[in-house]
Amino acid sequence: MRIASVGTAFPAHRYPQTVITEALKERMQDKLASPGVMDRLHSNCGVDFRHIMFPLDTLGSLSGFGEHNDLWIKGALELGQEAIHKALDRVGLTPSDISAIFFTSVTGIACPSIDARLVNLMGFPKDIKRTPIFGLGCVAGAAGIARAADYVRAFPKQYALLLSVELCSLTWQADDVSMANLVACGLFGDGAAAVVIAGEETKLAQKPTSIEDPCPRVLATRSTFYADTEHLMGWNIDHSGFNIVLSADVPELVSTELRGTVEGFLDDQNLSMGQICSYIFHSGGPKVLKAMESSLGLPPNALAASWKSLSQRGNLSSASVLTVMQDFLQNRPGSPGCYSMIGAMGPAFCSELLLIQW
């Protein structure tokens, strides 16, 4: 199984972090005991710019879960089509070449699901196999690649597609002045990413791979569930929509658990951390990235691509690790034969790791 390409798409509305913060302060000023707290929190998020689905001057014009979710469906279809076209065009494929599509998001819901609507809009085969995924949150980008790889392992002559669309700004809650919501309003952004996974007997998997035209092989995957940690991250859902659950203990869990998880995974592959040339990790936020660096004892700049994605787009939930993967494919590929690890963590609490070889 090979990761053949990644395509990304973002809303047209892109703002500096300071501009978004001021707009949010104006919207919430009568509820904030100290507006300066939001300035401090947002300046510490490691985010310089973010894309959001709507213009800032319309912030607060929507009311209730229904209106926000309708905009999520509209945005998911727009960005989803763009990301898919980019991913397919890069490798000379069309929707008719795809046998299975995996769709993930944790910022909206739809029935029929977004993948079903895209089948109608984009000309995917009528016998395409669809797997919509909800609830995995930030871990779903890595988990989605793993599940798509599982599929083409069983069907090596076929291509699978993963699509992630996260419109996090549509979950910001104007009436929630909890620390968790204030941090989320400063950390999360909007975007989409699509990944083409090629079975070993497809033409893309058969061509020689190189630094100029990388197509890394997925060698192994590992899902890990950390028991009794569901309180750390997720949603409380009510009439207003998705209300963030985000514990300050997440970085501590990363610090405590990640190294053992990584070492155990690699040991099962008869490898060690010293044999990993790069880490392609989800941009969870400054404290999470620092916890990853510290736990794994990584050298300076080992997670530079993750920090860059955070700075330029914010945390895109499941789409973040896919944008980091795109950066590696286009700008930072490993030399042929070397190993990299893709990783993300999210609600449950859980982690997903993939071992790839360039």
pLDDT in tens, 137-191: 999 999 999 999 999 999 999 999 999 999 999 999 988 899 999 999 999 999 9
pLDDT in tens, 116-137: 999 999 999 999 999 999 999 9
**CATH class, 215-357 region:** alpha beta
pLDDT in tens, 55-64: 988 777 777 8
Tokens for 145, please give them: 């690649």
pLDDT in tens, 7-48: 999 999 999 999 999 999 888 877 887 878 999 999 999 999
pLDDT of 174 reads 85
Please state, rounded to an integer, the average pLDDT across all residues of the chain.
95
Q: Which amino acid is at 298?
A: L
| CATH number of the domain located at residue range(s) 2-205 in this protein | 3.40.47.10
274 with 336: CB under 8 angstroms?
A: no
For range 338-354, the mean pLDDT: 97
pLDDT in tens, 297-344: 999 999 999 999 999 999 999 999 999 999 999 999 999 999 999 999
Among candidate residues 45, 111, 138, 168, the one labeled active-site is: 138
Domain pair 2-205 / 215-357, same fold: yes
3-state secondary structure of 147: helix
pLDDT of 321 reads 98
pLDDT of 209 reads 77
3-state secondary structure of 240: coil
DSSP H helix total and E strand total for the chain: 11, 13
For range 238-262, the mean pLDDT: 95
Domain segments of the chain as ranges: 2-205, 215-357
pLDDT in tens, 185-234: 999 999 999 999 999 999 999 887 778 889 999 999 999 999 999 999 99
pLDDT of 168 reads 97
Cβ-Cβ contacts under 8 Å for 111 (sequence gap 6 or more): none
**CA dist., res. 21 & res. 42, Å (int):** 7
Give the rounded percent of residues in the chain with a pLDDT score beyond 70: 100
Helices (H), the chain: 17-28, 35-43, 64-90, 114-122, 140-154, 179-187, 203-206, 250-268, 286-296, 304-313, 320-331
CA angle 293, 315, 163 (to 5 degrees): 110
Whole-prediction pTM value? Answer: 0.95
Based on the residue annotation, tell me whether 138 is a catalytic residue of this protein.
yes
For range 72-88, the mean pLDDT: 98
